[in-house]
Structure 1
Amino acid sequence: MASELIFTNATVVTRDRAFTGTLRVAGGMIRDVDDGRSGLPQAIDCDGDYLIPGLVDIHTDNLEKHLEPRPGVKWPGLAAFQVHDRMLATAGVTTVFDSLVVGDMHLGKPGRQGALDLAKDVLTASVDDDLMKADHRLHIRAEVASDTVMNELANIIDHPLVALVSVMDHTPGQRQWRDLDKWKKVYSRVYTAAELDAQIDGLIERQKNYSAQNRQAVIGEARKRGIPLASHDDTTAEHVAQGHQEGILISEFPTTLDAARAAHAHGMKTIMGSPNIVKGGSHSGNVAAADLAEVGLLDGLASDYVPISMIHSAFILVDNHGIALPDAVAMVTAEPAAMAGLTDRGEITPGKSADLVRVKSYQDLPAIMGVWRRGRQVA
């Protein structure tokens, strides 16, 4: 790590404004942020490019995709992790919560416990040996309607990297899949018509038997350890009210305008998938994230399944939806950091971690020109 870095002639984006300025980094921390340009010969001339905080991604399924690139194909763990990590860094993500599922939602199919164990081991080794470009945490996604969720949770909840837990229910007819026809359309590629009906009946029965008690148990385990909680795919005001009563502070991927509105009414934060912004809507037919942003109901964005979509979505909100640049950038930096309780990053201000991304506007797209984590260039 360089003892000191100076960035100048940059369009610096802080929490409340964007301006031509100079930024000094020392010891991995932001030390000074000033208006104007520096004439020091060692200063990095940013040529007017944006300088924004490193992105904070609290929900990505990208690691699982590399651990199992095809159904049934298991890739060597460390190799998969390195590709995943480098992909995030080059997308400007300096802090990431790798999202891993506990509990299975497909009857008669193998669960994800093998992927979970492999990811846990690889992440632990990579942290210990300083192999990572990004700062990795774990987001445990608990499928509360599963009969295996509590046993699987017990195997991971005390891992030191676990920093977020979300409760979710993907039972057909519930939340994201409240429209059974949409569920059938998606899974018709996997099951025959008869198998679909059997799956629906079995999953609904399992939900009746396990969901309520597992939800409370998962929440209790997270709260005992002081781990932040999110409620996934809130669809109704009642879903949000339940989460609020349980002490949940994040409504993750609300599927309707009513749910997002209720979340704000209860003082909860909302976060949506950034691919929703890039693609112009939800692939599942739920509420468009940009619509929430335009009415002030969107607080943060997560990459979900496409890491590069985070930076892209922030600039789309500015260019196409009337969101001020500092506010759009905060949706992928300061806001998700705050949701996860990370107070040392996510903003360009003295005393914060020197996690930085240099971004050039190129053909109406944000092109990432450099990424630094704690003052060390990682991409």
Structure 2
Amino acid sequence: MQTETNLIHIGTEFNKTKAVVTPIFQTSTYLADEDPQEYITAATEPKHPEFYHRHGNPTNSQVAAIVAKLEKTEDALVLATGMAAISTAVLAVVNAGDHIIAQNAHYSGATLFLKEFLSDYGVEVTHVDQTNNQSFVDAIQPNTKLIYIETPSNPNLDITDLEFVGQLGKERGILTIVDNTFASPINQVPADFGIDVILHSATKYLGGHSDLTAGIVCGSKDFIQKVWRRSIILGASLSPFDSWLLLRGLKTLSLRVNQINSNALALSEWLEKNPAIKKVSYTGLKSHPQHGLAKKQLKGHTGMLCIEVAGKDETDEFKNAQTILNNLKLFANAASLGGVESLVVHPASMWGSHHSSSQKKVSGITLGMLRISVGIEHIDDIIADWEQAIEKI
């Protein structure tokens, strides 16, 4: 079956009711069967949907089946947030004394986890330039257990060569994990390039309506069992209602992402021609320095783009960026991304407390930068909103 059909029909065996729409299983626990062996199985089987909510939930199982199918992995696990997916997956791989290779540019929460949390527990992390394949090779140590990447990266839209990293991991016996949130499985399937584990903040494109938080880990059955065992201890269970919202959002994922792709490309092309904008970073533009690699990996170029606003100096660029930000009407100034509504943020302000000046510089975050998440509004209205906001400079 094709993707659009899978989004509607995969995992329906977990809905044992006669309801067309999977109900919300708003319960923390489930009745034991009369057969003692069946109860023992429910209590010990990973992700069993009908034992105790921290272990599993029928809707969680249906969501996991859909996303695993999209990402071409054997299994998946649904968790409470994107950070729960990141931290639980990584902690299923490394122990004290191990080494991780990561990128210079990551989602800020992942950066904090990699740079601060893991170091407290004796895990070493080396950050490399994700646009330079050789930097991954040079960073390998005898105790390297994991290569953790994110592509396109947040917020600067750098591309990591998935095929190179996947092959490197296989050759050296190093597990590879990619955060695929920015792309979504509609636009990019990392398993096609040899990546072992795929993560998502399902809060974003997979949910798609800015009304839930969730995370997903996709991988082999053996690896997902390891992650599940960690999750039982760490306790980051997705609530029944959020699980139901996520299942509902997934049904329209392909429709939403394809519309968003089209809007983002049109907006980036318009912004690139505007003299008030110094730089547009969008993987769908020929001006993107890694456009060729992006075309190889991405079926569509997502709704994410970054711009740098022009000005006489950094102070002026910051002032002009704030002017635009304050005058946009359709684009809400709010964190997150991937919803049906368009959003825009100033990364240097949003991540000010998370990144030092040097960290922001290494990550490519400037004072005049705005990160844009394009929604499904009509493209004429989207462009008109930017046009009137830029005129206020």
Per the TM superposition, whether the score is higher than 0.5 is: no
Which structure would you say has the larger RCO, counting Cα contacts within 8 Å and 6 or more residues apart?
Answer: 1
TM-score by length of 2: 0.29
Bigger share in helix: 2
TM-score, length-scaled by structure 1: 0.30
